[in-house]
Amino acid sequence: MRNLRQTIAFSYAAIRTRHKLGRVRLLLLYWSYCLKGLMGGAKQVRLGPLRINTPNFKHFIGIFEEIFLNRCYFFSCDNPSPRIIDAGANIGLASCYFKTLYPQARIDLFEADKSTADILRSTIEINSWQDCRVFPYAVAEQDGEITFYSRTDEQASSYNSTVEARVNKSQFVEQKVKAIRLSSHIDGPIDLLKLDVEGAEMGVLRDLADTKKLQQIEQMFIEYHHHIDKNVDEFGQFLGLLEGNGFGYVVTSWLNLPTWRGRFQDLVIYAYRK
């Protein structure tokens, strides 16, 4: 059963800010999702005019709360049909949110887990998004084959990763997937890059900087996983890559206090070209 205090907090989030779906409509949608969750969930949900396939309804509600109610990926753009890269797309809720902001958005979605990529592709097909493409690859610092860890007890898990230290190997299965450098995919201006690759973000950003492709990106949302290895501290280097390539940034963390040495932190960085 969902935490009542959490539900009330997110209900308030639904009505406190403007949204293209409408505040009341968004609130009613959220309540309907919570009710469906109590009854066992659903395999497909409606989100305004959109339909979304989801293999894990509890997982869907959690992501919906962060993206649609907390608006963690809200951005403004002068381009009515922005070019967006969604790296680590999972089931595509971030891209659905981008489509509510900019219906003509052109989105390339990268998702390495095969079963999740299939679900993602089916959502794009049922919504007839001709301007969206799914690439079933991991993004990494080097091209080639790479080991990808997929959770065995939760389909479409947001914890799937190419970084072994990110996972508890007893709960994950290994598979070999194709990895590409994101820099090889960028052939023009990118209005927004959303990068959520569960620990591989340092290598991806380094490659984008080395190939000068970072200079073609206007805005970014990056999930940074600090202290996957509690003895490794390279957050300053990461921010230095942003600063050295002309970006300002805002860092958000949901860390609860108290804290301790080497504690893992999930950080979201919004970076913007100055």
148: left (phi over 0), alpha (psi -120 to 50) or beta: beta
User: Distance between CA 121 and CA 136 in Å, rounded?
Assistant: 10
| pLDDT reported for residue 57 | 86
> Residue 160 carries which DSSP code?
-
Length of the chain measured in residues: 274
Domain locations in the chain as residue ranges = 1-71, 73-273
**H/E element, 269:** strand 265-273
Contacts of 74 (CB under 8 A, 6+ apart): 101
- Predicted pLDDT at 98: 96
CA nearest 46: which of 35, 58, 32, 65? 32
**Using CA atoms, how far apart are residues 157 and 90, in angstroms rounded to an integer?**
8
For each of the chain's 274 residues, which pLDDT tens digit applies? 457 888 888 998 888 877 778 888 889 999 999 888 888 777 888 888 899 999 888 889 989 999 999 999 999 999 999 999 999 999 999 999 999 999 999 999 999 988 899 999 999 999 999 999 999 999 999 999 988 887 766 666 667 777 777 766 667 778 889 999 999 999 999 999 999 998 899 999 999 999 999 999 999 999 999 998 899 999 999 999 999 999 999 999 877 788 899 998 889 999 999 9
| Beta-bridge mates of residue 107 | 84, 132
Residues 109 and 22: their CA atoms lie apart, in Å, by: 27
Question: pTM score, two decimals?
Answer: 0.91
Q: How far apart are CA 71 and CA 50, in angstroms?
A: 18
* Separation CA 32–CA 14 (nearest Å): 13
> Residue 77: what pLDDT?
95
Please tell me the predicted confidence (pLDDT) of residue 215.
95
CATH topology classification for 73-273: Rossmann fold (3.40.50)
Coil, helix or strand for 118? helix
| Separation between Cα atoms, residue 29 and residue 13, nearest integer Å | 13
